[in-house]
Amino acid sequence: MNRRIGNLFIVLAVGLLGLIAMTTYWQVVARSSLEARQANVRLVYRDLAIDRGSIVSSDGVTLAESKPGTLDGRTVYFRHYPTGGLAAQLVGYSSLLAGRAGLERSLDPELTGSTGDLTGVINSFDRLKGDTVRGDEVILRLNAAAQKVAMDELTKLGARGSVVVLDPSNGGILVMASTPTFDPNTGLEQALSDPGSPLLNRATQGLYPPGSIFKVVTAASALDADVVTPETKFPGPSCIDSGGQKLCNFRDRAYGPHSFGYALIHSINTTFAEVGADLGKDQLEATMRGFGFFSRFPWDYPPEQSLPSGIFNRRGNLIDPSAPIDVPRIAIGQERLLATPLQMAEVATAVANGGQIVQPEPVQEVRAPDGSVVRRPSPVYLGRAMTTETATTLRELMKQVVDEGTGGAAAVAGLDVAGKTGTAETGTAGKNDAWFIGFAPAEASRFAFAVLVEDVDGTGGDVAAPIAAAVLRALTAQTT
């Protein structure tokens, strides 16, 4: 009997040793591959252990911060957005549920202190010691007060839309509003499935027919190419024949003989179609490239959230440069031409800047946890969209758009506002995309902007220009 007892013990002992072998497999062999699996909550705990840096507006409003909490006996940091939907698309989110987007994503290395610089090196030691890793604080160029006005104005209309304000001197993003918005604290899950696409940053991902605001680009191209001067005379009928199809002025209005400058101020389609035909495809496209069309701005934002503007085919792709286009209709901002509000704000920036295109810059300063400045971006000039003389000419003409033309509603007391209205057909009868782009003050501009309101009955002058005025008032109230 004892021999059998011994045999049974051996069988059971082999079983128990098998347990040790299998445990060894998981803890030694399979460990690293299991560590990286998405369903492993330890990844989340590791992220939560980092005291992610705050994101603050230039006027001192905290847009994103980390709040300490306790999870399984350790201190962890939960992301909180005190201003909710105020700049939700620009700032983005860092969420266990939905991952990261916006600046929370593009600035992640700095916010988590995992850059290659000194902070990153110090943090990798902290990680080894088990101390809390603290990320850098990011101060944005964003003006929270003006951003709020922009959001309120758009929300008041109950419309989808966007407001972008750039500082022409350095590309700083002063306002980047997009409606509808979402609350990244509580509304993220709902926003993911919302048919109104609140997660979409309409300033950088929304592609809209620019309509008459594109005439600024056409005018820059024509003036630079010496196709016209401001004084060149045009006939001004209500409609012309373009490529076998009628092309008419807004509300079929006839103007009579007028100068090219007058045509820009009063947004005369027939004249710009004629100028477009004279310019030709190659010249217009070259100017568009100079303004930044056909490529993404290489700025500090997730690339898939910043789309290029340009001429798109029916499948929604940028068309081949060799493909034929209806140049006269492109010249008035219609046909298959689509642009983001950010691109159109850059058009205004170029005019305000004497022709220079400056890269959009969300960040004013990055500060280490000890308060020292890690990074302070300097302006990046991306090239010249037009000559200084052309820019000066356009500036004068765009000033008159507000003073005596279609953009009167953008006038702000004590501020010289220059601009251009746009009312683009959307394909739905009676509904337009209302635009207003411009800059202020007209000389030594501090603000260059684009306002877009989707699918409204009114015109750019009626709907978009007043929003620009309200935002400009907020900006000047802040800075003077």
Partner 1 sequence: MPDRGFLRLPTRNRELALIALALLIATAGFAAVQLARAQEFASSPLIAAAFFAGAYLIAHLVVRITLPDADPYLLPITAVLTALGLIEIYRIDAKLARDQGLWIVLGLVLFVGVIVAFRDIRRLETLRYTCGAVAVVLLLATIVLGSEVNGARLWIRVAGLQIQPGEFAKILLVIFLAGYLRERREVLAAPARKVLGIGVPALRHSLPLLIIAGASLVLLVAMNDLGSSLLFYVIALAMLYIATGRLLFVGLGAGLFALGATAALQITPRVQTRIDGWLHPWADEQAQCCYQITQSIYTIADGGVLGAGFGRGVILNSGGGTIIPYAQTDFIYSVIANEMGLVGATAVILLYLLLAWRGFRIATTADDGFSKLLAAGLATAVAFQVFVIVGGVIRLLPLTGLTLPFVSYGGSSVTANFAIAGLLLCISQRANRERV
Q: Does 20 participate in binding partner 1 (rule CB under 8 A)?
A: yes
In this structure, the strands spanning 137-140 and 55-56 are: parallel
In this structure, the strands spanning 432-440 and 373-375 are: unpaired
Q: Which span (12-20, 141-149, 349-357, 431-439) binds partner 1, by CB under 8 A? A: 12-20
Q: Does 131 participate in binding partner 1 (rule CB under 8 A)?
A: no
Radius of gyration, CA atoms only, the chain: 28
Give me the least distance between CB of 76 and partner 1, in Å please: 8
Give me the least distance between CB of 68 and partner 1, in Å please: 13
Q: Does 19 participate in binding partner 1 (rule CB under 8 A)?
A: yes
Classify 422 as helix, strand or coil. strand
Q: Which span (39-47, 52-60, 358-366, 427-435) binds partner 1, by CB under 8 A? A: 39-47
Judged on CB neighbours under 10 Å (0-12, 13-18, 19+), 24 is exposed
Q: Which span (9-17, 161-169, 175-183, 286-294) binds partner 1, by CB under 8 A? A: 9-17
Q: Does 71 participate in binding partner 1 (rule CB under 8 A)?
A: yes
Give me the least distance between CB of 10 and partner 1, in Å please: 10
> How many residues bind partner 1, per CB under 8 A?
34
Give me the least distance between CB of 454 and partner 1, in Å please: 38
Torsion of CA 7, 11, 13, 18, to 10 degrees: 160
Nearer to partner 1, 15 or 414 (CB): 15
State which of positions 40-69 bind partner 1 (CB under 8 A).
40-42, 45
Instruction: From the candidates 106, 212, 221, 242, give the one annotated as an active-site residue.
Output: 212
Give me the least distance between CB of 185 and partner 1, in Å please: 15
Give me the least distance between CB of 23 and partner 1, in Å please: 5
Name the token pair of 70. 């306790």
Catalytic residue status for 124: no
State which of positions 72-111 bind partner 1 (CB under 8 A).
72-73
**Nearest CA-CA partner of 177 in 296, 294, 48, 91:** 91
How many Cβ atoms are within 10 Å of 78's Cβ, its own excluded? 14
> Any residues with CB less than 8 A from the CB of 136 and at least 6 apart, and which?
53, 110, 111, 113, 115, 119, 366, 367, 368, 369, 374
Choice from 17, 192, 254, 286 touching partner 1 (CB under 8 A): 17
Q: Does 28 participate in binding partner 1 (rule CB under 8 A)?
A: yes
How many Cβ atoms are within 10 Å of 455's Cβ, its own excluded? 14
> Any residues with CB less than 8 A from the CB of 139 and at least 6 apart, and which?
56, 57, 58, 363, 364, 365, 366, 367
Residues that bind partner 1 (CB under 8 A): 1-2, 4-6, 8-9, 12-13, 15-20, 22-24, 26-28, 30-31, 34-35, 37, 39-42, 45, 71-73
> Which positions are annotated as active-site residues?
212
